[in-house]
Amino acid sequence: MIDKIPLAGVIGSPVAHSKSPQIHRHWLRTMGLSGFYIPMDVATADLKEVLHTLPKAGFVGVNVTIPHKEAVMEIADLVTDRATLIGAANTIIFRADGKIHADNTDGYGFIENVKAGAPDWKADQGPAAVLGAGGAARAVLAALIEAGVPEIFVSNRTKVRAEKLASDFGQRITVVDWVKAGNMIEESKMVVNTTSLGMVGKAEMRVPLDGLHEGQGVTDLVYAPLKTRLLAHAEAAGCTTVDGLGMLLHQAAPGFERWFGQRPVVDTATRAAALR
């Protein structure tokens, strides 16, 4: 008898742009595992029904992307602490006992990418500066705090969102006015852009970057383009730069392992597969 072939996929709307199918299919192929990974465009109104139906069709789990990352938290039976803290989930496991388990691996992906790209950075060395206060910023803050960063400056165009983060994440967060974001960049050991500024089709980053200097790490969650204006400035200033594609690759690994049974390696071939 042939064992059931595990199925997984990504649920979003739209979902055609997602790089997750390329990443998971690359791992399935190169690791010689049987399984399929499918993009699924699902409307918000259908999300609950779809999540309850997929396990009956052989799905072992799914990734969840925009706009469902928050809504899925209400549908799940079990939610990890880190997903609760972040307020969103991106990785769903359909458990054998029928329960829907929701986790968030964005913070893990972020920190693994930084560790790989800026190996000399030590979390406890000094403050970090975070631009932005959206969903991605929440995952980044959770990861920076867990890693042991002593102080984190957060600046966002809409200040009230940054203040909400400070009240949710505690005393290590200091909110900085958007017009003073250049100062916090200068004072930090690690600088993180979590805004969509600099992304293809979005506004360009206009935060003053002349304070960037050698000895800093700089990472941008935006990965289209791979070298954003922030990263180009940082590179010219002698900073260690880490692009955002690695975060996408690393956040995919825990889900893949849970669904298909083996831990994948994030390497240059994985990057190439995601960029194809």
Q: Work out how close the CB of 223 gets to ligand NAP at its nearest, in angstroms, rounded to a whole number.
A: 5
Who contacts 212 (Cβ-Cβ below 8 Å, separation ≥6)? 185, 186, 191, 218, 233, 234, 237, 239
Nearest to 145, CA basis, from 82, 193, 194, 216: 82
Where do contacts with ligand NAP occur on this chain (CB under 6 A)? 106, 109, 132-137, 156-158, 161, 194-197, 199, 203, 221-223, 244, 247-248, 251
Q: Which is nearer to ligand NAP, 5 or 203 (CB)?
A: 203
Q: Which is nearer to ligand NAP, 53 or 158 (CB)?
A: 158
Token pair 């165009």 in the structure block, residue: 157
- State in Å, rounded, how far the first CA of the chain is from the last one: 36
Q: Is 99 a catalytic residue?
A: no
Q: Are 103 and 254 in contact (CB under 8 A)?
A: yes
Catalytic residue among 4, 19, 56, 69: 69
Q: Work out how close the CB of 98 gets to ligand NAP at its nearest, in angstroms, rounded to a whole number.
A: 30
Which stretches of 20-84 are assigned E, i.e. beta strand?
A: 36-41, 59-64, 78-79
Q: Work out how close the CB of 195 gets to ligand NAP at its nearest, in angstroms, rounded to a whole number.
A: 3
Q: Which DSSP helix (H) or strand (E) runs through 110?
A: helix 106-117
Sheet holding 190-193, edge to edge: 173-176, 152-155, 128-131, 190-193, 217-220, 240-242
Q: Work out how close the CB of 5 gets to ligand NAP at its nearest, in angstroms, rounded to a whole number.
A: 28
Q: Which is nearer to ligand NAP, 54 or 137 (CB)?
A: 137
Q: Which is nearer to ligand NAP, 125 or 183 (CB)?
A: 183
Residues acting as catalytic residues = 69
